[in-house]
Amino acid sequence: MYLLYGLGIANSSVRKYFDENNISYKVFEDGKTNYKNYDDVLNEINIIIKSPGILNESTLLQQAKKRKIQIITDIELFYNIVQPNFLICVSGSNGKTTVTKMLGNLLADEEFQISGNIGLPLFDYTNHQSKKYIVECSSYMLEYTQLLKPNIYILLNIEKHHLDHHHTFVNYIKAKIKPLKQMTEEDCFIYPKDNLLISRIANTYCVKKLPFSLEQSNIDFKNLKLIGTHNYLNVMTVINTLQALNINIEDKLNFIYHFQPLSHRLEILFKENNPLVLFVNDSKSTNVFATIVGVNSIINKFPNSKIHLILGGQCINQNYELIIPLIKYISHIYCYGEAGKIFMKYIRHNIYYFQCLKELLSYLNNVQFIKDDVVLFSPGAPSLDEFNSFEERGTFFIRNLNLKKRQI
Nearest Cα neighbor of 225 from 217, 235, 236 is 235
State residue 407's pLDDT score. 46
Q: What is the pLDDT of residues 246-281, one digit of tens each?
A: 999 999 999 999 998 889 999 988 654 445 788 999
Q: What is the pLDDT of residues 31-86, one digit of tens each?
A: 787 777 888 899 899 999 999 889 999 999 999 999 999 999 999 999 999 999 99
Segment holding 132, helix H or strand E? strand 132-136
Question: 3-state class of 376 per DSSP?
Answer: strand
Cα–Cα distance measured from residue 36 to residue 373, given in angstroms and rounded to the nearest whole number: 61
Which range among 267-281, 345-359, 381-395 shows the weakest confidence by mean pLDDT?
267-281
Task: Report percent pLDDT > 90 for the chain.
Answer: 79
* Residue 289 DSSP class: H
Residue range 26-31: average pLDDT? Answer: 90
As a whole number, the mean pLDDT across the chain is 92
State residue 191's pLDDT score. 98
* Residue 101 DSSP class: H
- Report the DSSP beta bridge partners of residue 334: 310, 352
Nearest Cα neighbor of 364 from 310, 313, 314, 311 is 310
Cα–Cα distance measured from residue 63 to residue 73, given in angstroms and rounded to the nearest whole number: 17
Cα–Cα distance measured from residue 360 to residue 64, given in angstroms and rounded to the nearest whole number: 46
State residue 271's pLDDT score. 53
- Report the DSSP beta bridge partners of residue 155: 91
The answer to whether 385 touches 338, Cβ cutoff 8 Å, is yes
pTM of the model: 0.86
Which range among 123-132, 188-197, 211-220, 386-395 shows the weakest confidence by mean pLDDT?
211-220
The answer to whether 182 touches 149, Cβ cutoff 8 Å, is yes
Residue range 198-211: average pLDDT? Answer: 96
